[in-house]
Amino acid sequence: MARLRSYREFWPYYVREHASGTTRALHFAGTAGVIALAIAAAVSGNGWLLLAVPVLGYGFAWFAHAFVERNKPATFTHPLWSLIGDFHMFALMLTGRMEREVARHREGSRLADRKAH
């Protein structure tokens, strides 16, 4: 299988790796926490709060992948696209459009099905 060459190619795989509503909810909570911490750090001037950003963001996500989806987070193979995907999914969930994306991309291969290149 060919290597993914763009975020546009990556997105359907990302959606399938987040098939469970519980996984998506945990990602949403982590991303919302990251945004809240970043705002709190900016408002308070306390840069130390930023140290908790990766712990909060990745903590919720990795828990979901390990115990809900039982798959490997895309962060390990596509870190930048995965980060973009987290915020993309957050925005779609916030606007009530993520379920449509899940239905649209339900069929197809998963990242684990692809050969490493």
Q: Which of 29, 52, 28, 30 is nearest to 40 (CA)?
A: 52
- Is position 84 within any domain? yes
Look at the chain and report how many structural domains it folds into: 1
Helices and strands, counts by H and E, the chain: 5, 0
Q: 10-59 pLDDT, tens per residue?
A: 999 999 999 999 999 999 999 999 999 999 999 999 999 999 999 999 99
| 37: in domain | yes
Its domain, for residue 93, covers 28-110
- pLDDT band for 3, please (50, 70, 90 cuts): confident
pTM for the structure as a whole: 0.89
Q: Is residue 21 part of a domain?
A: no
Asked whether residue 117 is assigned to any structural domain, the reply reads: no
Rounded Cα distance, 38 and 110, in Å: 32
pLDDT band at 117 (very low <50, low <70, confident <90, very high): very low
Asked if pLDDT for residue 115 goes beyond 60, the answer is no
Q: Determine, yes or no, domain membership for 23.
A: no
Residue 18, domain member (yes or no): no
